[in-house]
A and B are shown apart, each in its own frame.
Chain A
Amino acid sequence: MEKMARVTTALGSNAVSGRTMFCHLDAPSNAISVCRDAAQVVVAGRNIFKIYAIEEDQFVEKLNLRVGRKPSLNFSCADVMWHQMDENLLATAATNGAVVTWNLGKPCRNKQDQLFTEHKRTVNKVCFHPTEVYMLLSGSQDGYMKCFDLRKKESVSTFSGQSESVRDVQFSIRDYFTFAASFENGNVQLWDIRRPDRYERMFTAHNGPVFCCDWHPDDRGWLATGGRDKMVKVWDMTTNKAKEIYCVQTIASVARVKWRPERKYHLATCSMMVDHNIYVWDVRRPYIPFATFEEHKDVTTGIVWRHLHDPGFLLSGSKDSTLYQHMFKDATRPVDKANPEGLCFGLFGDLAFAAKESLMSGDSNRKPYGGGDRRYPIFFFKKPDPTEQFANVSSVLNVYETEMENNRMDWFVKTAKLYLLSGKPFAELCDHNAKVAKDLKRPQVSTTWTMLRIMYSDPGNPGVNHGISKVGAIPVMNSFNMKDITVGLGSESRLDRSKGENRPDNIHLDLTNSLMNNNDENEETEGSEGPADYLFGEADLDDDDLYTMEHDNPTEDAEYVLPQEAFPLRHEIVDNPSAPEHLQDKADSPHVSGNEAETVSLTPIESFSLISIAHPQYDSNLSPSFFSPVVHEILQYYAEQGDVQMAVSMLIVLGDRIRKEIDELTQEHLYTSYVDLLQRFELWNVSNEVIKLSTCSAINCLNQASTTLHINCSNCKRPMSNKGWICDRCHQCASICAVCHHVVKGLFVWCQGCSHGGHLEHIMKWLRTKSQCPAGCGHLCEYT
């Protein structure tokens, strides 16, 4: 309460008011500082040194301190400070190493008072003592800090940081004798002004230069530092060892840091590069800025709170040659835009989801989590101003547990392991994969594979013929399904049943029933493809669409029908090359019969009639690119269903047949998601195979990144840092081949039982004839 009283008096005596406003300077500024009465601000830079009066709604230039025709480098300011006791007194740090003081009370135009040229390098910072009128401190690039008594012509004491350069010096506001200095090498030193020989304490605050530091105005122990490592840290200096109590990670190196008056946990920062905004952080909530000022167009170089006891006004100067007064109430609050929602998967597939309470109300299914509200309840106890604190968001945490059976991805793992992607003729790959899919009760996928083989195989290939003969028993069904494959999955499962098992009749008679069953099965086996119901409805619809489409485009339809029917009557194909008029005539018949087949039971006679109708349309030279659009659609369909495994496997197996049809980016996308999935399931071998087989350069190079393997020396057990075969420390060759006794520099294989080993080839050769370890240890090594 005592503090509150003081605040009111301070504000009462000279009430600060104004609005967000700015003025153009003629040149970029390097630093700004305010007068004690908060009515004037001084702006200093390489080519500017002016005083502005802050009025109600504008800045008014009061005085230009840069006088003389040829301004010297002493005017080129790196830093400026207005004395907080004497409003006529200013000090600047010049880039040429001069420290200059200015007395505004001087009658003449040139207000320069004293000039100290003791520093050899650029002076980065000047600082007046908060209570002592004549004491000035400077910190320079040459690694020295100097304390000046303004009544004397030269410095009274020099402090050597024993380090490259001083970036900031700040007198402690509470301790009369103490000041802090921050250094380019990441250290912060505390000095007693009476003891120039040695610092009181030193600690490493940042990795890389510490650009700025600021003492907390109220709490004597707190020092905030900002560095090139993009961090702002708050240190508690009251303990023996400086303790880091808060740390804020920003997005760019921190150029300035200033505690916000009257707010214990707030500080303002601006950055050195790239980022132009000024942030005000609540150090206890380091992830999101409390407030942001986004007015500047170039990096902000100086920030200062206008009044010592008023948290509402911030002044800032920038490289974009503007001077701004920011009103705190006009600041953007990033937290308002943030979604207070979180989502996370648990180890066993549980899903936790937290969201705003208002959004979640009405959800009957939830069970609120017992964790409770973990925010800071007594935050701003004194001033319950709603604009001055983080918005209270009460959120609800929901945890969804998964039932193990439902979401099992067993099929995925098994499929990944069993699929063959290369190494055999195309047709065999397809057959194999179809079989795998069928065994895993994924009839649609299985059918797709069969279909692919049929589409792309060369009918002359005996392997293919063999494959066809297996399916050939029910050609009509196949022909029908060919049409549907692009659209949905309903009909394929039918095909699968009829093809796979020897009971075609009852299935077709009890068609709807079997579909329903199938649906259930789908849900079980392919959890991710949940909305199977939906698809079935869709399939029916699309059937109709398909008809109309096929009427427009009969040839395309014909090609669906052809390949498998060609088989039984192959000799005829050669004799009767396709006749266009014939084709026109018979164009619709396949669906008609197809429809029949669907509704009526399937008889051999019908199917034969179909074949005879269809066969003349066959063209043995049908180019595979004919199918490309269809296959493209299939691919897309699977990808959209979330079955990226199928999409990628198709892509790889089809290889060049389809690759050019699909744009690189999509391919890359598919590959990355599949590889990612495989790696999550720890299917490293499969993922590597996929990476190897992919043709996208972006994917291929995945295998070339981070190929480092770290090993330890077998003698001294230390990590071998640079070479795999000789140890730095004990200078011994670590891996010697047990067979040839030479150093192994390539592939090294060893027995896990006796840990002897050697060149891969040698060991292979050795173990082909012998079973004992080549090192003679008597172990019976196994090589697999």
Chain B
Amino acid sequence: MRHSTSSRKAVDNSSVTVSGLFKMCAHCERLCKKEIGIRIPRPLGQGPSRFIPETKILQVSKVDSKTQVIFEDTFSTLGRLDNISLVMGFHPQYLESFLKTQHYLLQMDGPLPLDHRHYIGIMAAARHQCSYLVNLHVDDFLQVGGNPKWLNGLEGAPQKLQSLGELNKILAHRPWLITKEHIEHLLKAEDHSWSLAELIHAVVLLTHYHSLASFTFGCGINPEIHCEGGHTFRPPSVSNYCVCDLANGNSSLDEMQSNQLVTDTSCEVEALMEKMKQLQECRDEEEASQEEMATRFEREKTESMLVASTEEEESAPTRDVSRHFEDPSYGYKDFSRRGEHVPTFRAQDYTWEDHGYSLVNRLYPDFGQLLDEKFQIAYNLTYNTMAMHRDVDTSMLRRAIWNYIHCMFGIRYDDYDYGEINQLLDRSFKVYIKTMVCSPEKTTKRMYDSFWRQFEHSEKVHVNLLLMEARMQAELLYALRAITRYMT
């Protein structure tokens, strides 16, 4: 925490004179061009993430051998080591599985052609206005020989991909509305119909990139140096901060607030641990009635609606991301609203392990296995630590987070007492989760900083992984259930 504060001071200073700086650098830039003729790009952000100070992130030179090998692999297969991998490097075990899955998804044998895969990735990321992922995949798309015309917007793409837009939209924001009619519509189109295998591949891609967009925003991933917004041509003498960096909610006000709060919340971790202990102990004694359990789920569901992000900042995507998707007004709408009632998804009736896996593996061989491993690693990942405490069983906390996300998508576990969520997750954490999962583009540094103040950055990244995987699974379950219904 202390580290991050000190580095933020620098931001404060620079923000004061920002307007002057900017003018000057435009000037300098012109000078540069005139005199040398070559513009040397410099990284804009500091390190891979806006939220996590560079010093806290593993340095490539200092990581242990296992992570080193993984990083080398990534570099050799992708030709780059992107910021996402660097941040995930906190959790090498997960990173390995993640990269393997992503590699299989994008590069290995599969029903969809390579350019389609990247284009679907762009579509999915654009849904959340995640310019980072869009830029990355626009480059990849062109590299595998994609038609540049497609990048002008969905209208430029083949009819087949256009028809996927609707599914993309629903899946990203309100997956519970997916019905077998949507699937049928895609599979039964005359000329541009999808095959089941292709559809599964596309669905996996969409969910993967929706959730990855969540992670990107949740961890404040900085643009890559070669992408738009990732570099500047200003000479190094001028400040390293760019306009967009400042626009992303790092106002000095936040800092002062959080500085004050640090002292109040020093006992936060202890309180949380105490609660977990209590729950563990009294679980056997106190028996909530079934009605009580049901209402608790409902309450958690409705409460998740109230937990709305208070900050209504508009983030400005660098590349014109919006042209990749239609209907920008379509966003997350709370699961159960008065008026329209969608039946609750009973987790036990359609589980990933039993049903989802079988379906995916049947239509997209071997991939079910990879996904299964990834989900399991994410769900079971633990170091038995909480902030400064060692040997803590965090399974309860992890389960609460996982189930809370599924709860927001209307998935209910019969065997879970949703009262636990209320006990374990405090409001600022819920705000963060909700924002990140439902409208990740609104995530700000303040949100990131204000939850779990004493926890390590690696633990916050861990939370982000959990959120990402839980979200992906929730979306997948809805999509796969619809496909199953179509098939029967």
- One digit per residue, 1 when the CB lies within 8 angstroms of any chain A CB and 0 when it does not, for chain B 346-382 equals 1011000111011100100000010010000000000
Does B287 belong to the interface (CB within 8 Å)? Answer: yes
CA separation between A252 and B487, bound complex, in Å? 14
How far is A96 from B354 in the complex, measured between Cα atoms in Å? 18
Q: Is B484 an interface residue (CB 8 A)?
A: yes
Q: A72-B290, A96-B293 are in contact. Are A122 and B109 (CB under 8 A)?
A: no
The answer to whether A252 and B358 touch across the interface, beta carbons within 8 angstroms, is yes
| B291 interface hit (Cβ, 8 Å) | yes
Nearest A-chain residue to B354, judged by Cβ: A272
Q: Is the CB of B287 within 8 A of A209?
A: no
B181 at interface, CB cutoff 8 A: no
A95 to B35, CA, bound (A): 74
Q: What separation, in Å, do the CA atoms of A211 and B354 have in the docked complex? A: 9
Instruction: Name the residue among B289, B291, B354, B484 with the largest chain A CB count within 10 angstroms.
Output: B354
Q: Please tell me if the beta carbons of B346 and A117 are within 8 angstroms of each other in the complex.
A: no
CB contact between A705 and one of B109, B358, B362, B369 (< 8 Å): that residue = B109
User: B414 in the interface, Cβ–Cβ < 8 Å?
Assistant: yes
The verdict on A97 contacting B359 (CB below 8 Å), with A274-B487, A299-B488, A723-B76 known, is no
Q: Say yes or no: B291 contacts A70, CB within 8 Å.
A: yes
What's the least CB distance linking A278 to chain B, in Å? 15
Is B488 touching A728 in the complex (CB atoms < 8 A)?
A: no
The stretch that binds B, out of A73-81, A216-224, A563-571, is A73-81
A700-737: contact bitstring with B at CB < 8 Å (1 yes, 0 no)? 01000110000000000000001100101000000000
CA distance A122 to B354 in the complex (A): 14
Q: Which residues of A contact B109 (CB under 8 A)?
A: 705-706
Please, how many angstroms separate the alpha-carbon atoms of A120 and B399 in the complex?
A: 13
Residues of B within 8 A of A253 (CB): 354, 358
Contact with A along B94-128 (1 / 0, CB 8 A): 00000000000000010001000000000000000
- Shortest Cβ distance from residue B183 to the other chain A in the assembled complex, whole angstroms: 14
- Judge if B77 is at the interface, Cβ distance under 8 Å: yes
Contact of A298 among B113, B293, B488 (CB under 8 A): B488
Q: When the two chains form their complex, are residues A273 and B355 in contact, meaning their CB atoms are under 8 A apart?
A: yes
- Whether A122 contacts B414 by the Cβ 8 Å rule is yes
Q: Answer whether residue A46 sits at the interface, using C-beta atoms and an 8 A cutoff.
A: yes
B290 adjacent to A46 (CB under 8 Å):
no
Identify the closest chain B residue to A271 (Cβ).
B358
Q: Which residue of A lies closest to B290 (CB)?
A: A72
Within 8 A of B (CB), among A118-166: 119-122, 141
Given A96-B290, A117-B287, do A274 and B362 touch, yes or no (CB 8 Å)?
A: yes
Establish whether residues A722 and B290, one from each chain, have CB atoms under 8 Å apart when the complex forms. no
Known A-B contacts A228-B358, A272-B355; the reply to A97 vs B415 at CB < 8 A is yes
B415's contact among A141, A211, A723, by CB below 8 Å, is which?
Answer: A141
Q: Are A722 and B353 in contact (CB under 8 A)?
A: no
Contacting residue for A122 out of B289, B355, B415, CB 8 A: B415
Give complex CA distance A499, B287 in Å. Answer: 102
Specify which chain B residues have a CB less than 8 angstroms from the CB of A70 in the assembled complex.
Answer: 291
**B72, CB-defined interface residue at 8 Å:** yes
Tally the A-B contacts, defined by beta carbons under 8 Å.
Answer: 82
- Contact indicator B76/A273 (Cβ below 8 Å): no
Interface string of B287-321 (1 = CB under 8 A from A): 10111011000000000000000000000000000
- The docked-state distance in angstroms from the alpha carbon of A376 to that of B124 is 58
Are B354 and A209 in contact, with the CB atoms below 8 A?
Answer: yes
**Interface size of B as a range:** 20 to 34
Q: Does A276 contact B (CB under 8 A)?
A: yes
Instruction: Give Cα distance in the complex from A705 to B110, angstroms.
Output: 10
User: CB-nearest residue of chain A relative to B114?
Assistant: A704
Q: Does B291 lie within 8 Å of A95, measured CB to CB?
A: no
Q: Write out the residue numbers on chain B whose beta carbons fall within 8 Å of the beta carbon of A94.
A: 414
Q: How far is the CA of A70 from the CA of B291 in the complex (A)?
A: 8
Does A184 lie at the interface of the complex (its beta carbon under 8 Å from any beta carbon of B)? yes
CA distance A299 to B355 in the complex (A): 11
CA distance A723 to B359 in the complex (A): 33
Instruction: Give CA–CA (A76, B357) in the complex, Å.
Output: 24
Contact with A along B56-90 (1 / 0, CB 8 A): 00000000000001001100110000000000000
A728 touches B69 (CB 8 A): yes
Chain B contacts for A723, CB-based, 8 A? 72-73, 76
Residue numbers in A under 8 Å from B484 (CB-CB)? 273-274
- Supposing A184-B353, A252-B362, A274-B359 touch, asked if A122 and B348 sit within 8 A by C-beta, the answer is yes
Give CA–CA (A94, B293) in the complex, Å.
14
Residue of A73, A122, A298 near B290 (CB, 8 A) is A73
| A74 x B355 contact (CB < 8 A) | no
Complex contacts, B293 vs chain A, CB 8 Å: 73, 96
A297 contacts the other chain (CB 8 A): yes
Of all chain B residues, which has the CB nearest A705?
B109
CA A76 to CA B347, docked complex, whole Å: 13
For the complex, give the distance between the alpha carbons of A92 and B124 in Å: 44
Closest B residue by C-beta to A706: B109
User: How far, in angstroms, from A731 to B73 measured CA to CA in the complex?
Assistant: 13
Bound-complex Cα distance A209 to B358 (A): 11
Q: Mark B470-488, 1 if CB is under 8 A from A, else 0.
A: 0000000000000010011
Contacts of A119 in B (CB 8 A): 415
The answer to whether B349 and A74 have CB atoms under 8 Å apart is no
Known A72-B291, A96-B290, A253-B358; judge A722-B77 contact (CB<8 A).
Answer: yes
Q: A282 to B330, alpha carbons, bound, how many Å?
A: 55
Residue of B nearest to A298 (CB): B488
A722 in contact with B73 given A76-B414, A274-B362, A274-B487 (CB within 8 Å) = yes
Shortest B225–chain A CB gap in Å is 23
Can you list, as one digit per residue, whether each of A85-124 has a CB less than 8 Å from chain B (1) or not (0)? 0000000001111000000000000000000010111100
Residues from chain B with Cβ under 8 Å of A705 in the complex: 109
In the docked arrangement, what's the CA distance between A13 and B293, Å?
A: 48
Nearest B residue to A297 via CB reads B488
* Residues from chain B with Cβ under 8 Å of A72 in the complex: 289-291
C-alpha spacing A701/B354, complex, angstroms: 35
Q: How far is the CA of A73 from the CA of B416 in the complex (A)?
A: 11
Contacts of B113 in A (CB 8 A): 701
Q: Tell me how far the C-beta of B17 lies from the nearest C-beta in chain A, rounded to whole angstroms.
A: 47
Tell me the complex Cα distance, A228–B351, Å: 13
Within A278-303, which residues are at the interface with B (CB < 8 Å)?
Answer: 297-299
- Bound together, the chains give a CA A706 to CA B108 distance in angstroms of 8
Distance (whole angstroms) from the CB of A730 to the closest CB of chain B: 13
Q: Determine the chain A residues whose CB is within 8 A of the CB of B362 once the complex forms.
A: 252, 273-274
State in angstroms the CA–CA spacing of A210 and B117 once bound together: 34
Interface string of A180-215 (1 = CB under 8 A from B): 000010000000000000000000000011010000
Determine if A276 and B488 form an interchain contact, defined as CB atoms under 8 angstroms apart.
yes
**A273 lies within 8 A of B359 (CB):** yes
CA distance A723 to B72 in the complex (A): 9
| Among B76, B346, B362, B415, residue most surrounded by chain A Cβ atoms (within 10 Å) | B415
A78: which B residues are within 8 A, CB to CB? 348
Contacting residues, chain A, for B415 (C-beta < 8 A)? 95-97, 119-122, 141
Minimum C-beta distance from B251 to chain A (A): 44
| A76–B293 alpha-carbon span in the complex (Å) | 14
Q: How far is the CB of A81 from chain B (nearest CB, A)?
A: 18
User: Which residues of chain B are near A122, meaning CB under 8 Å?
Assistant: 348, 414-415
A78-B348, A297-B488, A320-B488 given. 16 additional CB < 8 A pairs? A46-B348, A46-B349, A76-B414, A95-B346, A96-B415, A117-B287, A184-B353, A208-B357, A252-B358, A272-B358, A273-B355, A273-B484, A274-B359, A274-B487, A722-B76, A723-B76
Residues of B in contact with A (beta carbons under 8 Å apart): 69, 72-73, 76-77, 109, 113, 283, 287, 289-291, 293-294, 346, 348-349, 353-355, 357-359, 362, 369, 372, 414-415, 484, 487-488
8 closest A-B pairs by CB: A72-B290, A95-B414, A273-B358, A96-B414, A97-B415, A253-B358, A95-B348, A122-B415
Q: Which residues of A contact B (CB under 8 A)?
A: 46, 70, 72-74, 76, 78, 94-97, 117, 119-122, 141, 184, 208-209, 211, 228, 252-253, 272-274, 276, 297-299, 319-320, 701, 705-706, 722-723, 726, 728
Q: Can you list 8 A-B contacts with CB-CB less than 8 angstroms, sorted by A residue number?
A: A70-B291, A73-B293, A97-B415, A120-B415, A228-B353, A273-B354, A273-B362, A728-B69
